[in-house]
């Protein structure tokens, strides 16, 4: 190893050994950011740079990076060591980065995951794109740095070295029939549960990271017991293929048992938690990452400076967005819009979900005139009521449709699928040409780009861009290119883009895209996990996000089930304080009047509260666009030095002024909230009572509201 540090103006280049091909290069890319790349300089990058929009190399920065051997250290402006990478390894196309992570560190980000974790230090995750999971390889540390891992493929976060296959017990399992969504529409599916078992021997007691992989593209259940004690439990009609957990294990033998579905092939990966964090990508050209130094706001602002600033979200998108699966005709939409107005329920946008194309085939970019005789007249009528229309559009097109036949003739599909190959510029252009000619003239205001993963991680084992690249190379970046195509087309057409998409990647904020958490259930645990999922998206630099308030999959007796209605109201009450407020539900008429007068009155209060806050929300939205701000704020953004605040999983700031404390349990008449340390304390938003910061307080709640506190020194009106 060379011990001498070579400093050449804006970069260091260090050869690790006399015969080594890989070299380590550090470049100042912003005043508080450095990009590190460990690669063979003779090998030119094969893939385009889809991630960064700014490529300046600064001669002077406020941070200092030093390289000694294989170790990269980054110091802040005061000369304090903030980040230290100890391993850069590129072996047979697999890239590994490891950096120090002390025990008292908190790490936030990585995107939207369903494991219920906010602090991901020590956790093992597999970053892939599937329904309900959005992988964005960006982290923020409570120690004053952020890391963006520059790889478009599958990434293992804190990969585990040990694993065991769970073996299925002999015999028949328990069967059930369920209604599910698919890329062909709604369908019934028979599922059969089975017991899987294994044993592991732990050589050393301590905290262990677990990653349960069910062995399929999507899971139906995550379940694991260790020595008879529940460790992992999550059920939904769709779940990601992996689930993560940190547990404390004693030395010795431990029995594993999992109740999963018939065709699962479960493997449990496990590793003792260490004082380090690792990113590993099995398909890579380089170890490539960017380190940001500063406060969380400074980190996110620079991240956006490098990967693209957010366009200003239209004011009308900040109000209430009403959605259901689904409206069946123009008449249904107009009747619903008129009733919202007659009931004096505020609404800004109404949404047409899938299958409006009817007889013309999946996503044929055409309304079936039997049920939608004049789509332009529909949008005109809504606009007269000051209501916008959002329409679902997919990246999948029926090959037998008129548009599909064009796409087949042009070779614009990813081989073996019905997904358009947006990696191919000609395919993207053909998609937009049809989109712009068939849909844009109808006066539609917003675009719901559904299933943009593409659904169920469908790039694995395929080739894209006329066979030029393996799907594994670009496995996580497909949603970025879908949104790029639509956004740039709308801007060129002189339209104000508003896009809702089910998946994303680093940089998607520059396309004006909002994300949501996909086809989730409705139970209390699912509700809690959407909050941590949303906070993970925010810490990864993506500001516009929401969920299906009330849950997408709902009980059949939802309109009369008091237990469900209580849950639904808590989802909606929290949604008032999300970046976007939106209700949705599968096989549901989600209108407030369908759930009884009491529920309707409470929902009406929620909607009116959203609009009372609109001046404040608009100011915050402007901060997002102009200063790289964040509206839904993990507590690390404002209270980095308050350890108790960093431990809170479900509390967050809505803008700089409001502390939100969602009620996440049934039957609550009071709720315990941690008030972070804050000079001047806090004021209860509902009662006006003042509290000092740095303490837990218990306040009364009713069915109609959740605890909200105003931070001293800030105003909202």
Three-class DSSP labels, 198-221: EEEEECCCEEEEEEEECCCCCEEE
Give the domain extent around 684. 633-711
Phi/psi zone of residue 263: left (φ > 0), alpha (ψ -120 to 50 degrees), beta? alpha
Is residue 609 left, alpha or beta, with left meaning phi > 0 and alpha meaning psi from -120 to 50?
alpha
Does the pLDDT at position 10 exceed 60?
Answer: no
CA nearest to 337, candidates 391, 373, 376, 383: 383
The pLDDT, as a whole number, for residue 3 is 30
3-state SS assignment for residue 108:
strand
Q: How far apart are CA 261 and CA 222, in angstroms?
A: 10
The per-residue b/e assignment along 71-81, b for 16 or more CB within 10 angstroms, e otherwise, is bbbbbbeeeee
CATH number of the domain encompassing residue 448: 3.20.20.80
Task: Give the Cα separation of 210 and 156 in Å (integer).
Answer: 13
Where residue 186 falls among pLDDT bands split at 50, 70, 90?
confident
* Dist. CA 353–CA 448, nearest whole Å: 8
Those residues with Cβ within 8 angstroms of residue 384's Cβ, 6 or more apart along the chain or in another chain = none
Residue with tokens 């008032």: 576
In this structure, the answer to whether residues 35 and 137 fall within a common structural domain is yes
Contact assessment for residue 708 and residue 658, using Cβ atoms and an 8 Å cutoff:
yes
What is residue 187's predicted lDDT score, i.e. its pLDDT? 67
Tell me: do 331 and 427 sit in the same domain. Answer: yes
Reduce the DSSP state of residue 478 to 3 states and report it.
helix
Chain mean position to CA 83: 26
**Is 717 domain-assigned?**
no
Cα→Cα distances 386→55, 327, 383, 440, 506, Å: 42, 19, 5, 19, 34
- Position 171 pLDDT exceeds 90: no
CATH code: domain of residue 645: 2.60.40.1180
Measured between alpha carbons, how far is 608 from 377 in angstroms, rounded to an integer?
Answer: 29
Burial label, 13 (beta-carbon count in 10 A; 0-12, 13-18, 19+): middle
Instruction: Tell me: do 171 and 184 sit in the same domain.
Output: yes
CA neighbor of 478 nearest in space, from 499, 459, 498:
459
Phi, psi values for residue 319, rounded to 5°: -85, -155
pLDDT in tens, 553-602: 999 999 999 999 999 999 999 999 999 999 999 999 999 999 999 999 99
Mean pLDDT of the chain: 95
DSSP three-state, residue 543 = coil
Here the CATH number for the domain that contains residue 133 is: 2.60.40.1760
Instruction: Evaluate whether residue 4 is within a structural domain.
Output: no
Q: Which residues pair with 247 in a beta bridge?
A: 208
Alpha carbon distance 628, 310 (integer Å)? 8
What are the two backbone dihedrals, phi and then psi, of residue 674, each rounded to the nearest 5 degrees? -90, 125
Are 513 and 587 in a shared domain? yes
3-state secondary structure of 33: strand
Q: Which two tokens stand for residue 513?
A: 């895209």
4 token code pair: 């001498």
Choose one of 273, 291, 323: the last residue of a domain.
273
- Identify the domain boundary among 307, 323, 350: 307
pLDDT > 70: percent of the chain: 95
Q: At what angle do helices 425-438 and 478-492 cross, to 10 degrees?
A: 50
- My answer on whether 203 and 261 are in the same domain is yes
Smallest CA-to-CA distance from 110 within 277, 311, 302 is with 277
716 occurs within a structural domain:
no
Ranges 163-177, 340-354, 440-454: which has the least confidence: 163-177
Considering the domain architecture, whether residues 264 and 295 belong to the same structural domain is answered as no
What is the pLDDT averaged over residues 452-480? Answer: 96
pLDDT tens digits, residue range 79-96?
999 999 999 999 999 999
Q: What is the mean pLDDT of residues 213-236?
A: 96
| pLDDT at residue 20 greater than cutoff 60 | no
3-state SS, residue 481:
helix
pLDDT classification of 298: cutoffs 50, 70, 90: very high
Same domain assignment for residues 264 and 298: no
* Closest of 109, 39, 166, 482 to residue 299, by C-alpha: 109
When divided into structural domains, the chain yields a total of 4
Following CA atoms 624, 625, 626, 631 in sequence, which dihedral angle do they give, to the nearest 10 degrees? -10
Residue 511 within any structural domain of the chain:
yes
Confidence of residue 7 (pLDDT cuts 50, 70, 90): very low
Check pLDDT > 60 for residue 18: no
- Using DSSP's 3-state secondary structure scheme, residue 67 falls into strand
Cis ω before 326 (30° cut-off from 0): yes
Same domain, 132 and 205: no
From 223, 258, 273, give the residue that closes a domain.
273
Report the candidate in 132, 134, 136 with the shortest Cα–Cα distance to residue 152.
136
Query: SS3 of 83, please?
Result: strand
Per-residue pLDDT tens for 317-338? 999 999 999 999 999 999 999 9
How does residue 183 score in pLDDT terms, banded at 50, 70 and 90? Answer: low
Q: Distance (Å, rounded) from C-alpha 578 to C-alpha 514?
A: 12
Say if 551 falls within a structural domain: yes
Handedness of CA 523, 526, 530, 532 (dihedral sign): positive
Residue 682, in any domain of the structure: yes
**What is the average per-residue pLDDT within 652-667?**
98
Are 406 and 512 members of one domain?
yes
The full DSSP string for 135-193 is EEEEEEETTSEEEEE--SS-EEES--SEEEEPEEPSS--EEEEEEEEEBTEEEEEEEEE
Q: For the CA atoms of 617, 619, 624, 628, what is the dihedral angle to 10 degrees?
A: -140
180 has a pLDDT exceeding 80: no
Within a domain: 447: yes
Residues 510, 557: one domain?
yes
Instruction: Report whether 127 contacts 157 (CB < 8 A).
Output: yes
Same-domain check for residues 247 and 359: no
CB contact at 8 A, 91 and 284: no
The answer to whether position 335 is within a domain reads yes
pLDDT band at 527 (very low <50, low <70, confident <90, very high): very high
Per residue, what are the HEC states of 284-306? Answer: CCCEEEEEEECCHHHHHHHHHHH
Residue 21 confidence class, pLDDT cut points 50, 70, 90: confident
For the chain, the farthest-separated pair of C-alpha atoms sits apart, in whole angstroms, at 79
Q: How far apart are CA 423 and CA 162, in angstroms?
A: 36
At 13 the pLDDT is 41
Residue 19 has pLDDT above 60, yes or no: no
pLDDT reported for residue 16: 39
Q: Determine contact, residues 181/205, Cβ cutoff 8 Å.
A: no
Position 511 pLDDT exceeds 70: yes
CATH of the domain at 194: 2.60.120.260
DSSP state of 311: P
Which segment of 9-23, 383-397, 451-465, 489-503 scores lowest on mean pLDDT? 9-23
Residue 177 has pLDDT above 80, yes or no: no
Distance CA 447, CA 444 (A): 8
Q: Is 5 helix (H, G, I), strand (E, B) or coil?
A: coil
- The three-state secondary structure class of 384 is helix
Please state, in angstroms and rounded to a whole number, the distance separating the CA atoms of residues 683 and 716.
12
Q: What is the structure's pLDDT at 2? A: 30
446 sits in which H/E element: strand 446-450
For residue 17, the 8-state DSSP code is: S
Beta strands in 262-361 (DSSP E): 267-272, 276-281, 287-293, 320-322, 349-352
Q: What is the per-residue pLDDT for 717? A: 83
Q: What is the pLDDT of residue 182?
A: 67
Confidence at residue 185, expressed as pLDDT on a 0 to 100 scale: 72
The verdict on 119 and 188 lying in the same domain is no
């Amino acid at each position: 190893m060379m011990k001498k540090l070579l400093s050449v103006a804006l970069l260091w280049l260090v050869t690790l050994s006399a015969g080594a091909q890989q070299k380590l290069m550090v470049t100042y890319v912003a005043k508080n950011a450095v990009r590190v790349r460990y690669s063979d300089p003779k090998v030119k990058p094969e893939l385009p740079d889809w991630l960064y929009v700014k490529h300046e190399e600064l001669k002077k920065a406020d941070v200092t990076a030093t390289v000694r051997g294989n170790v990269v250290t980054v110091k802040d402006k005061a000369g304090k060591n903030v980040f230290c990478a100890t391993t850069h390894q590129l072996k047979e196309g697999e890239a590994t980065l490891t950096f120090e992570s002390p025990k008292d560190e908190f790490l936030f980000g990585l995107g939207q995951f369903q494991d219920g974790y906010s602090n991901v230090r020590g956790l093992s995750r597999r970053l892939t794109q599937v329904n309900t999971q959005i992988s964005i390889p960006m982290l923020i540390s409570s120690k004053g740095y952020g890391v963006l891992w520059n790889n478009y493929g599958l990434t293992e976060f804190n990969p585990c070295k040990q694993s065991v296959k769970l073996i299925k017990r002999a015999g028949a399992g328990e069967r059930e029939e369920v209604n599910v969504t698919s890329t062909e529409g709604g369908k019934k599916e028979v599922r059969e549960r089975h017991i899987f078992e294994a044993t592991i021997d732990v050589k050393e007691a301590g905290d262990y990271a677990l990653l349960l992989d069910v062995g399929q593209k999507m899971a139906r259940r995550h379940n694991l017991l260790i020595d008879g004690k529940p460790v992992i439990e999550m059920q939904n009609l769709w779940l990601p293929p992996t689930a993560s957990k940190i547990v404390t294990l004693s030395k010795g033998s431990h029995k594993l048992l999992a109740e999963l579905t018939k065709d699962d092939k479960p493997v449990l990966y496990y590793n003792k938690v260490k004082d380090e964090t690792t990113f590993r990508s099995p398909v890579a050209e380089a170890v490539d990452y960017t380190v940001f130094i500063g406060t969380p706001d400074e980190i996110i602002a620079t991240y956006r400076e490098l990967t693209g600033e957010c366009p200003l979200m239209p004011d009308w998108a900040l109000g209430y967005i009403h959605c259901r699966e689904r409206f069946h005709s123009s008449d249904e939409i107009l009747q619903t819009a008129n009733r919202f107005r007659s009931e004096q329920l505020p609404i800004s946008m109404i949404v047409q979900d899938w299958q409006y194309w009817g007889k013309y085939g999946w996503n044929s970019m055409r309304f079936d005139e039997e049920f939608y005789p004049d789509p332009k007249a529909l949008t005109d009528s809504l606009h007269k009521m000051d209501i916008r229309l959002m329409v679902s559009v997919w990246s999948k097109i029926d090959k037998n449709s008129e548009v599909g036949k064009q796409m087949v003739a042009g070779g614009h599909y990813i081989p073996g699928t019905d997904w358009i190959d947006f990696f191919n510029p000609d395919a993207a252009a053909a998609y937009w040409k049809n989109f712009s000619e068939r849909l844009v003239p109808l006066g539609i205001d917003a675009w719901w780009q559904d299933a943009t993963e593409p659904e169920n991680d469908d790039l694995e084992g395929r080739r894209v861009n006329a066979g030029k690249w393996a799907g594994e190379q670009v496995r996580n970046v497909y949603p970025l290119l879908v949104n790029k195509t639509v956004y740039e087309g709308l801007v060129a057409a002189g339209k104000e883009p508003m896009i809702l998409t089910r998946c994303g990647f680093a940089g998607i904020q520059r396309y004006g895209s909002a994300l949501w958490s996909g086809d989730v259930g409705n139970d209390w645990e699912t509700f809690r996990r959407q909050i941590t999922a949303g906070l993970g998206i925010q810490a990864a630099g993506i500001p516009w996000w929401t969920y299906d308030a009330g849950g997408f999959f709902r009980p059949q007796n939802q309109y009369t089930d008091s237990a469900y209605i209580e849950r639904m109201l808590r989802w909606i009450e929290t949604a008032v304080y999300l970046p976007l407020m939106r209700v949705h539900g599968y096989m549901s008429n989600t209108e407030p009047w369908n759930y009884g007068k009491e529920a309707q009155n409470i929902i009406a209060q929620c909607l009116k509260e959203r609009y009372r806050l609109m001046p404040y929300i608009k100011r915050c939205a402007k901060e997002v666009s102009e200063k790289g701000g964040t509206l839904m704020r993990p507590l690390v953004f404002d209270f980095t030095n308050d350890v108790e605040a960093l431990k809170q999983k479900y509390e967050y700031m809505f803008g700089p002024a409001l502390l939100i404390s969602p009620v996440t349990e049934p039957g609550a008449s009071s709720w315990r909230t941690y008030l972070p340390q804050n000079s001047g304390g806090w004021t209860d938003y509902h009662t006006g009572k003042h509290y000092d910061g740095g303490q837990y307080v218990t306040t009364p709640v009713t069915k109609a509201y959740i605890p909200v506190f105003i931070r001293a020194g800030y105003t909202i009106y």
